[in-house]
Amino acid sequence: KAGVTQTPRYLIKTRGQQVTLSCSPISGHRSVSWYQQTPGQGLQFLFEYFSETQRNKGNFPGRFSGRQFSNSRSEMNVSTLELGDSALYLCASNPIVAGGTDTQYFGPGTRLTVL
């Protein structure tokens, strides 16, 4: 099976712009989670989508949003970009099988730089 894919891999934006990142989970996985990784704050949970519904959310401002499509692909959007949004954004997928694992499988990430 192909792994988790994220596009684009690198992105440069300026303050005030908005950005959309995409994540395709492993085939058959229905849960997608997003994380932000920065040198100062480490890895922080943004949100999780399952069956097109956000079912868990971290402590981030409303500028960060996401959605999931019927094929389980997910997008996250950041509006009104700030310099502090520069980070590696990681997507992870999870099979969510009954009685099964909560293991998450990570993509390579999208490196966002805000100038």
The residues binding other proteins (CB under 8 A) are 4, 31, 33, 35, 42-45, 48, 50, 55-56, 58, 90, 92, 94, 101-109, 111
By beta-carbon proximity to other proteins, the closer residue of 16 and 43 is 43
3-state secondary structure of 69: coil
| DSSP secondary structure letter of residue 5 | E
Shortest Å, Cβ 104 to other proteins: 7
By beta-carbon proximity to other proteins, the closer residue of 14 and 56 is 56
Q: Which of 47, 49, 114, 57 is nearest to 87 (CA)?
A: 114
3-state secondary structure of 95: coil
Residues ≥6 apart with Cβ < 8 Å to 83: 15, 114, 115
By beta-carbon proximity to other proteins, the closer residue of 55 and 63 is 55
Shortest Å, Cβ 109 to other proteins: 5
